[in-house]
């Protein structure tokens, strides 16, 4: 998704969610500075080499557990949306890429990174403090933002970690993007927030986030090159 396509979505998101564009911009600059300081950042070409023809993106919906129990995902690139990293690790899988705004369980994100996962860390106005603390502990980081892209801080489009991962996969050449654990129902999966002990009823800000995420994924299915597939496809997985 080009900036011109993303900007109208972003302006609606900012208005609806009450975010500050200035703070989002500041966050992008801060991430850039942290990446340069740490000297452990990567460029899109390096991540493109990791992305195969088929990509599985794992969201943190409640269905994830059953699906991870039943199916094998060894024929594609594995991308975990933030909290879903914890579920994958529980099932002995290490994602190839983690897409995060640093509100998943940090120790699990770190384990995934230590075991080889590339980190796609997103800068926004509400994670500036977390970036300062946690960006330095990770390796092999690609930076993203939701305002105008900077040289080493990319904007491929997308809002929540899950739909943003799908836009990343599309931009890096995936032909098939399979969404796993993207329930978007009335229940938020227990992996979604470090404080959640169990699957939890939807709260208002999350409902708004999910509405944008769904709209963006519909946009991608219509306008992107990659085929977007919801898993399990009907008939599979009961």
Ligand X SMILES: Nc1ncnc2c1ncn2[C@@H]1O[C@H](COP(=O)(O)OP(=O)(O)OP(=O)(O)O)[C@@H](O)[C@H]1O
Ligand Y SMILES: Nc1nc2c(c(=O)[nH]1)N=C(CO)CN2
| Shortest Å distance, C-beta 161 to ligand Y | 6
Q: Residue 106: phi, psi to the nearest 5?
A: -55, -45
The residue from 24, 101, 108, 170 that contacts Mg ion (CB under 5 A) is 101
The residue from 32, 110, 190, 209 that contacts ligand Y (CB under 6 A) is 209
Determine the Cα–Cα distance for residues 15 and 235; give it in Å rounded to an integer.
40
Q: Which residue is nearest to Mg ion (CB)?
A: 82
> Could you say whether residue 103 binds Mg ion (CB under 5 A)?
yes
- Judged by beta carbon, residue 77 or residue 146, the one nearer ligand Y is 146
Residue 190 binding target from ligand Y, ligand X, Mg ion, none, CB below 5 to 8 Å by type: none
- Annotate the chain with three-state secondary structure: CCHHHHHHHHHHHHHHHCCCHHHHHHHHHHHHHHHHHHCCECCHHHHHCCCCCEEEEECCCCCHHHHHHHCCCCCCEEEEECCHHHHHHHCCCCCCEEEECCCCCHHHHHHHHHCCCEEEEEECCCCHHHHHHHHHHCCCEEEEECCCCCCCEECCCCCCHHHHHHHHHHHCCCCEEEEECCCCCCEECCCCCCCCCCCEECCHHHHHHHHHHHHHHHHHHHHCCCEEEEECCCCCCC
Site track 88-107 with ligand Y (rule: CB under 6 A), x = hit: -------------x------
Region from 36-44, 99-107, 135-143, 199-207 binding Mg ion, contact rule CB under 5 A: 99-107
Residue 126 binding target from Mg ion, ligand Y, ligand X, none, CB below 5 to 8 Å by type: ligand Y
Region from 87-95, 123-131, 182-190, 220-228 binding ligand Y, contact rule CB under 6 A: 123-131
The residues of the shown chain that bind ligand X, judged by CB under 6 A, are 59-61, 81-84, 101, 103-104, 160-163, 182-185, 187-189, 192-193, 206, 209, 213
Residue 59 binding target from ligand X, ligand Y, Mg ion, none, CB below 5 to 8 Å by type: ligand X
* Count of residues engaged in binding ligand Y, rule: CB under 6 A: 11
| Shortest Å distance, C-beta 184 to ligand X | 4
Determine the Cα–Cα distance for residues 66 and 111; give it in Å rounded to an integer.
23
Structure tokens at 205: 């800000």
Residues at the contact surface with ligand Y, assessed by CB under 6 A: 19, 24, 101, 124-126, 146, 159-161, 209
Residues at the contact surface with Mg ion, assessed by CB under 5 A: 82, 101, 103, 161
């Amino acid at each position: 998704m080009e900036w011109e396509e993303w900007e109208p979505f972003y302006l609606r998101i900012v208005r609806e969610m009450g975010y500050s564009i200035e703070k989002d911009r500041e966050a992008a600059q801060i991430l850039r500075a942290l990446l340069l300081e740490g000297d452990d950042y990567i460029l899109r070409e390096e991540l493109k080499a990791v992305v195969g023809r088929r990509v599985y993106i794992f969201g943190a919906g409640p269905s994830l557990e059953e699906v991870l129990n039943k199916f094998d995902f060894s024929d594609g690139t594995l991308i975990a949306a933030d909290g879903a990293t914890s579920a994958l690790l529980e099932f002995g899988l290490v994602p190839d890429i983690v897409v995060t705004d640093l509100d998943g369980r940090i120790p699990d994100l770190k384990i995934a990174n230590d075991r080889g996962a590339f980190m796609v860390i997103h800068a926004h106005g509400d994670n500036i403090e977390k970036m300062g603390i946690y960006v330095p502990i990770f390796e092999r980081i690609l930076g993203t933002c939701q305002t105008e892209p900077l040289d080493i801080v990319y904007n491929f489009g997308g809002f929540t970690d899950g739909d943003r991962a799908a836009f990343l996969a599309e931009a890096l050449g995936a032909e098939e993007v399979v969404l796993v654990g993207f329930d978007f129902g009335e229940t938020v999966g227990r992996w979604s927030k470090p404080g959640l002990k169990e699957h939890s009823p939807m709260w208002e800000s999350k409902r708004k986030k999910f509405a944008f995420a769904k709209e963006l994924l519909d946009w991608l299915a219509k306008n992107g090159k990659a085929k977007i597939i919801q898993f399990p496809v009907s008939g599979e997985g009961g």
